[in-house]
Structure 1
């Protein structure tokens, strides 16, 4: 009979899969209080909110090595931009209202 593999805690498995590394973050009292409240309200760990915040900060501060080279297209119609709503309606499409 084979011995059963040792049970792995859900959090241990999460850390193994995510390859998370430990670090220390210093917060002032108000931010720490707000972090605890937000985590409790959402039912997630404080660390999860911090990881989410770090991901957002990294995206906001990302520096691209090379410019994005979107192709430029000319419609040949100098009035195209001013007639966008009209063109979309003729295609049975709704313009973005946001």
Structure 2
């Protein structure tokens, strides 16, 4: 496997610890010409590597596509008033402060 050279402005020991300590693995990504151009511009603008932006994008995509094992359960409370749900708009309106009453 060919060694990857560190960026010019990054000390070799920092680069090596970052790339070996994080357990990064190499992969290949194919991008269309426009996306590659935009990636290069974004990386230069932020002062980070193109790979960092790709990793960030992968993390976002994985979170967006995550499948949870169990459904989210929200706590419930009982108002004790069986008409509460049907009167909720009215109740919320009555809780709104009147202009000038603050």
Which stretches of structure 1, 4 residues or more, deviate above 4 A after TM superposition? none
Cα–Cα, structure 1 residues 42 and 74, in superposed 2: closer, same or farther, change >3 Å?
same
The 2-side partners of 1:84 and 1:22 are apart by 57
Mapped pair 1:30 → 2:39: no
| Residue 85 of structure 1: how far off its partner (Å) | 8.1
Work out which of the residue numbers 81, 95, 98 in structure 2 matches 1:86.
Answer: 95
TM-score (norm 1): 0.70
Cα RMSD for the two superposed structures: 2.4
Cα–Cα, structure 1 residues 73 and 23, in superposed 2: closer, same or farther, change >3 Å?
same
Within 5 A, what are the aligned runs for 1:1-98?
9-77=13-81, 78=84, 79-80=87-88, 82-83=91-92, 86=95
Cα–Cα, structure 1 residues 30 and 13, in superposed 2: closer, same or farther, change >3 Å?
same
SS in structure 1 of the partner of residue 60 of structure 2: helix
The 1-side partners of 2:51 and 2:94 are apart by 46
TM-score (norm 2): 0.68
Higher alpha-carbon Rg: 2
SS in structure 1 of the partner of residue 28 of structure 2: coil
Cα–Cα, structure 1 residues 84 and 57, in superposed 2: closer, same or farther, change >3 Å?
farther
